[in-house]
Copies of this chain bind each other. A is one copy, B any other.
């Protein structure tokens, strides 16, 4: 007994509904202010403030001040991965907070997973990259092949700058709706940014859902055939 890491600590951080709602909101990838997060969780600003300091102390969130605003975001990619993983587990057990609503199909189709694309589209992109041998599974982690490097450069992503960062370029992330992996890591982030910059897709304001335009959908399907 008393072996190993302390899962009760993270569990209790996530276990409060208000905090869980804030974390879920932050999975949308935007940095949010305490006021916004309080609205998401349906609590007052004071209460939110208290929760946020706990989450920050626990290493789940980080904060940056900008003028009189404080922007909170997930502290690291790994926090997002862990949360998505938990959601997958919860979804597999039917632990849903709502009967599937009108937004649900949109979420399953394409959504933000912290900073990268998830849902049906995320999985399709990932599997298409694998099939084209532009990403390779090497033991535990993923590697971008030479063909892959050329490919992303052609799309306008600067490989050198991705490589400079200490973050892994490619990572898998388990998709809770599809129950399969999709692409995370700095490349995953760069690709989502690209789609949005090109105007193929845009984030919904108050949701994790991502809406593709008709032309964007076509361009995406051409890039990543099934």
List residues of A whose CB falls within 8 A of some B CB: 1-17, 19-21, 23-25, 40-42, 58-59, 78-79, 82-83, 85-93, 95-98, 103, 107, 127, 130, 137, 139-140, 172, 176, 180-181, 206-208
A1 touches B15 (CB 8 A): no
Copies in the assembly, this chain: 2
- Would you list 26 pairs from A and B whose C-beta atoms are within 8 A, ordered by A residue? A1-B40, A2-B97, A2-B98, A3-B103, A3-B107, A4-B87, A4-B96, A5-B87, A5-B90, A5-B96, A6-B90, A6-B96, A8-B14, A8-B15, A8-B16, A8-B19, A10-B86, A10-B89, A11-B13, A11-B15, A14-B15, A58-B93, A86-B86, A137-B137, A137-B139, A140-B172
Residues of B within 8 A of A89 (CB): 10, 78-79, 82
Bound together, the chains give a CA A98 to CA B23 distance in angstroms of 28
A174 to B, closest residue via Cβ: B140
